[in-house]
Amino acid sequence: MNKIVNYLVGALLFAAFSLSAHQQKSAISTVLFNPRTENIEIMHRFRVHDAEHAVREILGKDADIIDSKKTQEQFGEYVNQRFSLFDSDKQSLPLKMVGVELDGKFFWVYQETTQPTKIDNMTIRHDALRDLWPEQVNTINVEGKGKLQTLTFTDSVELLKLTFEH
């Protein structure tokens, strides 16, 4: 009986460690309307494990997001090309790459743009990693412009729109 219990405990621990090592295929982003800077600041948080797999598919098997600043910058540019904000007139807002950061088990990509003087609604595109993995889920929290709003990109959704209350 003891052997069976030990085997089951071992199998459960192995399964738990295996699950934690697999790709999560999800990312969280924050779009913050910062009244102090009058900028829209965007912070994308990816799991390092997902980013590692992605850069190897995008840049080749030798890509190293952990130790290569060049790979980190290339992944940041990849995200920059796949994320867009559109104002009330459906005009793309020019996003500037601010930087990237490796932070424990997360990889961050930072962008910003100037806030439009008047904006009643916004349309967002977030295709990062979704071109590699259709099951990728990208969630965006929009803060600092009325109540917190959350958008979730799943399946084949390409654009999501939100309206700001006055």
The Cα 144–Cα 149 span in angstroms is: 10
Domain boundaries, the chain: 23-163
Q: How far apart are CA 164 and CA 120, in angstroms?
A: 5
Per the prediction, the chain carries an average pLDDT of 89
Which residues does residue 140 pair with via DSSP β-bridges, in sequence order? 29, 151
pTM over 0.75: yes
pLDDT tens for 69-83 read 999 999 999 999 999
- Evaluate if residue 92 carries a pLDDT over 60: yes
Helix and strand tally (H, E) in the chain?
3, 9
Query: What's the pLDDT at 165?
Result: 82
The radius of gyration computed from the CA coordinates of the chain, to the nearest angstrom, equals 19
What 3-state DSSP class applies to 8? helix
- The pLDDT value given to residue 101: 98
Judged by average pLDDT, the poorest of 1-5, 103-107, 120-124 is 1-5
> In the predicted model, is pLDDT for residue 140 greater than 80?
yes
Instruction: Identify the three-state secondary structure at position 131.
Output: coil
As a whole-number percent, the residues of the chain with pLDDT over 90 amount to 82
- pLDDT digit string, tens, across residues 9-63: 444 444 444 444 456 799 999 999 999 999 999 999 999 999 999 999 999 999 9
pLDDT: is 2 or 84 the higher one? 84
Instruction: Specify the pLDDT at position 82.
Output: 97
Q: What is the pLDDT of residue 2?
A: 59
Residue 6: its pLDDT value, please? 54
Look at strands 26-34 and 137-143 and give their pairing.
parallel
